Amino acid sequence: MNYAQTGKSEMAELTKLVTVLAQQVSEIEKKIDNRPSGSYQKPPAARPELSVPDRPPIVCYSCGEPGHISR
């Protein structure tokens, strides 16, 4: 039985894989950091429907017509 040796080489393989993955992650992070912020628009923070200037069109769920709502 040479479980010890097998385990060792598996560990080496895993260590290699983890190293490669870590490198790839840091590459991706670099790419994200370099992305121009102008093309990316941050979505407005979601607010409760207290004072939203542009309300989404209301559609009545009773008769299906927009513009009013039915209880």
Q: Which residues bind Zn ion (CB under 5 A)?
A: 60, 62-63, 70
CB of 58 to Zn ion, least distance (A): 10
DSSP class of residue 9 equals: H
Which residue number, 45 or 63, has a Cβ lying nearer to Zn ion?
Answer: 63
Angle at 14 between CA 1 and CA 4, to 5 degrees: 15
Which residue number, 24 or 62, has a Cβ lying nearer to Zn ion?
Answer: 62
Which residue number, 12 or 59, has a Cβ lying nearer to Zn ion?
Answer: 59
Q: What are phi and psi of 36, to 5 degrees?
A: -65, 130
The tokens 């008769």 sit on which residue?
Answer: 63
